[in-house]
Structure 1
């Protein structure tokens, strides 16, 4: 009988809250074509440099043809395309191919672009590559840089806020678009005795509306239950939920309804988007990294839910973290991601 394949997060790095003081590395490697000289790839390279030795170790361990690359994005180099007109910069696979070329790898490489669920979808694909023995390890993650086209699109939908996002408040009025990236080394670790394990992933689709989630959250609930089922745990076993929490009327209604349906008000939760902004295709990857921080530092307080404190009482009441909370026996966290087209993705991580 085949052994169970357990996929662990071995190392990770992330970058958000980028400002004028953030120094991004230049892309000057020999043999890297001009279409890869993009801001999003500089963000990726910043993350890669933080785990450079760990990446070198897995390449030496497995070989260049057994390491996969899976990168989530929604913008790629669409901003640069407006300046230089190179259509290759707009391809959703551009960041993944950049990393592959930069590292000299020869295995699987692909981009994932499913709106705001892209980051968790990248984990799902990466895990399947390892389980299918296509790869021994995968460098997975997500990245997005700011682009005027995207900003104009969200503005046309009237969901941008000129104030800090205010999820689950009665005064919420939209999202803040941001940029950032995260990278993870995923590996088959069936003999590992400790580490962060991907316990379960749930993926569904509303088939409801192109830009609005189903307010009843039926498929969101199913995605949560799929993740719980695969993880072989009950709702009460989850210690913390990182909410998608965009601060739009439609997301917060749907998410509060779905989360309350499964967990009631029994599990601590928060949205970290008021702290990081909404990084689009990178958001779920960055929030997965925040969840890893939570698991590896149980002595620290859980991420606060930063908002004006005026909960929208028309929503089911969630157990938002409004003051410092520390859990001594924290072992399992869940991260939510939902996006345009009715795409839903939920990932459960656990420290083993």
Structure 2
């Protein structure tokens, strides 16, 4: 595939708002998980909550979109000068030539939960002022981002469980390569809600302590929330216009193994297919990868399946899961972890896996326990969702894969 430029990117999670907070946390192995204190959630677990989401005021004229998910989206869009960068892209290309591709798993379902609790007990009618299409509907996120920037290009929400925030990169790439758009706002936003917390609790997948991906004593996930975004554009025609530390999308791999509704294939066959496709599309060999951002949910079966897929392809690539720091942000995870890879490439380091203290030797993965400097030139990010919806993204540094590279 032709590489695409991540001209701007940003992330907001329990680690803080924007790139500086995330970089500081990853370099210094600081996690953001805390005991669950989410409204009406009486659960013995830890969560990754973004502070201040309820204090956000939706932009004037867009009040109908008001919900926790869209407030978190707006909070994320306003970090690191990202909104200004999109506005500049609109000025260059036109509002009809910039697309929106965003991932979410539950969108603004929290609004429906609240509306249901406030319904008319005699008629069952939901509370007045509840706007399903602009809040709970999965497309609400794409509609909100599109309206926020005044865009007129194609807009899509992808809701493929935990691969949602990664698969948007593939959708945007296809649109750009087809010549339908010139740039794309891609990302993922998922926010805390009772449906998610109690749903995973009913599956007995929540850990009672901060999650420990790939640890010998791993026992479940910690749920988080996040907003991660990137602006994808074609590479500049002039080779010297590309910064050596710029980050490129160089490979995308997707698969749907449909092994089971909620369990991965035990040998990770779908995950392996996605990674193989990402490598092939980038024209790279497994030995070219300097860092793997694992899906790494910290459940026994998921980590084991992913490790088998990795062992089938890689000899010893340094790897870690940033979910120990952020929690599993579900539909936002792919976008959030894409930004983690971008930071690793740009700042030349490998982030450690927070909370993991004793990597499971049975998994056979070179799991990084201490963040360290490294000239990472290519990084693989894995996102695997329920139903076998798998996506692997490959990012590279412009110093290795840019137009000015021989």
- Range into which the TM-score falls when normalised by the shorter chain: over 0.9
Counterpart of 1:100 in structure 2 is 146
Q: Does 1:307 align with 2:352?
A: no
Using the size of structure 2 for normalisation, the TM-score is: 0.81
> What is aligned with 1:76?
107
Q: Distance in 2 between matches of 1:267 and 1:9?
A: 24
1:254 aligns with 2:300: no
Question: Deviation of residue 344 (structure 1)?
Answer: 1.1
Once the two structures are superposed, residues 141-171 of structure 1 have per-residue CA deviations (whole angstroms, 9 ceiling, x without a partner) of 0000101011111111100011010111221
1:208, 1:340 → 2: CA distance?
Answer: 9
Q: Residues 121 and 19 from structure 1, CA distance in 2 versus in 1: closer, same or farther, beyond 3 angstroms? A: closer
Query: Deviation digits for residues 263-295 of structure 1, max 9, x if unmatched?
Result: 13x111100101001100001100000111111
| C-alpha RMSD of the superposition | 1.6
Where does structure 1 lack aligned partners over 5 or more consecutive residues? none
Instruction: Give the number of aligned pairs.
Output: 342
**Equivalent of 1:324 in 371, 378, 386:** 371
Kindly tell me: are residues 233 and 308 of structure 1, through their superposed partners in 2, closer, same or farther at Cα, counting changes over 3 Å? closer
Please report how far the alpha carbon of residue 179 of structure 1 lies from its aligned counterpart in structure 2 after TM superposition: 0.5
What is the Cα deviation at residue 207 of structure 1? 1.9
Runs of 4 or more above 6 Å deviation: none
Distance 1:146 1:22 in 2: 11
Aligned to 1:87, the other structure's residue is in SS state coil
Distance 1:323 1:313 in 2: 17
Return the match for 2:314 from 241, 260, 263. 263
Q: CA deviation at 1:345?
A: 0.6
State how far apart, in whole Å, the 1-side matches of 2:230 and 2:55 are.
Answer: 19
Aligned CA distance change for structure 1 residues 160 and 323 (closer, same or farther; 3 Å): same
1:1-352 correspondence to structure 2 within 5 Å: 5-17=2-14, 18-20=49-51, 25-30=56-61, 32=62, 34=64, 36-50=65-79, 51-84=82-115, 85=126, 86-88=131-133, 89-189=135-235, 191=237, 193=239, 194=242, 195-264=246-315, 266-298=316-348, 301-315=349-363, 317-327=364-374, 329-352=375-398
Check 1:350–1:338 CA distance in 2 against 1; reply closer, same or farther (3 A cut). Answer: same
SS at match of 2:78: helix
Q: What secondary structure sits across from 1:117 in the alignment?
A: helix
* Counterparts in 2 of 1:285 and 1:192: CA distance versus 1, 3 Å: farther
- For structure 2, the residue ranges without an aligned partner over 5 or more in a row are 15-48, 116-125, 399-406
Contact 1:44 1:183 survives alignment (8 Å): no
- 1:206-230 per-residue CA deviation (whole Å, 9 max, x = no partner) reads 2211000011112211111111111
Q: Does the aligned pair in 2 maintain the 1:75–1:144 contact within 8 Å? A: yes
Supply the distance in 2 between the matched residues of 1:196 and 1:324 (Cα, whole angstroms). Answer: 20
Cα drift, residue 52 of structure 1? 2.0
Alpha-carbon spacing, 1:306–1:20, altered in 2? closer, same or farther (3 Å): closer
